[in-house]
């Protein structure tokens, strides 16, 4: 009996650990996650690039000063219609002993856009510096240079994926020294009804491509949902669980909206942790940070480890 009780208690504690309910300042849109032991960092869309920090592995969050206090000079040339300090959809990562953030600037619904880069000694440092333009798009291009993601593959090569609507999700290798594109750029996923926010993750012999389908940014009317496909190689071809290519609109559902949390999407995946935003029907449809664990099926497909 004692052994049974202990086993049940362990099971309950394990289940409780699967779902995190973030507390504190959790207002966020398009989150990206960096883990440093118990210290977790989330950068998000917002004026100057917003920053959140947690000292207890994602349970409670506080807001730090934004990355930028003034706009880098190249912003106005790359995207003349861009206003103020608004910066979108960052990707936070570590490389060569520094913290880096890819991010995008644009105007809503347009594809005159640009992906920029900034770096600092640490994610919570006060002295982030502009590292310039990485990729840009303009009217007439069949892609939109926003929503960057970076993946370091098992062989050490760095891969940039990005894209929103237009022709879909694009992939290019980055030079490890310059963090600029090198070699071929290709599309790896398309969908006429809307696709954006790629996240590439290697797990064993598979590379997984998480994306967001449908529409964000409409509060409780948002229809965002998270999908996934996989490939043996980072360059594809990516297919969903039913074998439908992601270049033909495929994608296996990971999460859709529920009674309270509407339009979950613009995810980032680090190990078995997934972050994303969702619109809170109990808070006027405002976007908040959501944090969960992923569970993996026997045949290697991810799902949320526990309903929230």
Virtual CA dihedral for 233, 236, 237, 242, nearest 10 degrees? 70
CB atoms closer than 10 angstroms to residue 296: 14
**How many CA atoms lie less than 13 Å away from 170 in the CB half-sphere?**
26
The residue whose two tokens read 């210290």 is 39
Nearest alpha carbon to residue 114 among 142, 69, 75: 75
Active site residue 205: no
Query: What b/e readout covers 5-27, taking b as 16+ CB neighbours within 10 angstroms?
Result: eeeeeeeeeeeeebebebeebbb
> What one-character-per-residue DSSP string does 165-189 give?
STT-EEEEEE-TTT--EEEEEEEEE
Annotated catalytic residue: which of 131, 147, 149, 196?
196
Active site residue 30: yes
Per DSSP, the three-state class of 16 is helix
Question: Which ranges in the chain belong to alpha helices (H)?
Answer: 2-18, 74-78
Catalytic residue numbers, as ranges: 30, 196
């Amino acid at each position: 009996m004692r052994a049974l009780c202990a086993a049940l208690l362990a099971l309950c504690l394990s289940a409780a650990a699967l779902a995190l309910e973030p507390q504190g300042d959790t207002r966020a849109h398009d989150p990206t996650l960096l883990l440093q032991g118990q210290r977790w960092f989330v950068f998000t869309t917002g004026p100057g690039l917003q920053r959140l920090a947690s000292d207890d592995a994602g349970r409670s969050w506080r807001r730090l000063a934004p990355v930028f206090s003034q706009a880098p000079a190249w912003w106005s040339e790359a995207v003349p219609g861009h206003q103020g300090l608004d910066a979108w959809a960052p990707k936070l990562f570590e490389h060569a002993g520094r913290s880096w953030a890819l991010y995008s600037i644009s105007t809503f619904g347009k594809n005159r856009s640009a992906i920029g880069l900034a770096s600092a000694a640490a994610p919570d440092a006060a002295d982030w510096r502009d590292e310039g333009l990485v990729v840009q798009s303009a009217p007439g291009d069949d892609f939109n240079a926003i929503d960057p993601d970076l993946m370091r593959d098992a062989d050490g090569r760095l891969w940039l994926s990005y894209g929103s609507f237009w022709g879909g999700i694009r992939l290019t290798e980055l030079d490890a020294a310059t963090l600029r594109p090198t070699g071929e750029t290709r599309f790896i996923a398309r969908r006429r009804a809307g696709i954006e926010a790629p996240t590439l993750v290697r797990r064993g012999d598979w590379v997984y491509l998480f994306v967001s389908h449908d529409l964000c940014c409409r509060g409780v009317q948002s229809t965002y949902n998270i999908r996934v496909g996989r490939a043996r190689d980072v360059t594809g071809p990516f297919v969903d669980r039913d074998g439908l290519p992601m270049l033909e609109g495929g994608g296996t559902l990971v999460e859709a909206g529920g009674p309270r949390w509407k339009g979950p999407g613009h995810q980032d995946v680090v190990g078995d942790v997934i972050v994303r935003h969702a619109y809170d029907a109990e808070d006027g449809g405002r976007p908040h940070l959501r944090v969960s664990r992923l569970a993996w099926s026997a045949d290697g497909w991810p799902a949320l480890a526990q309903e929230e």
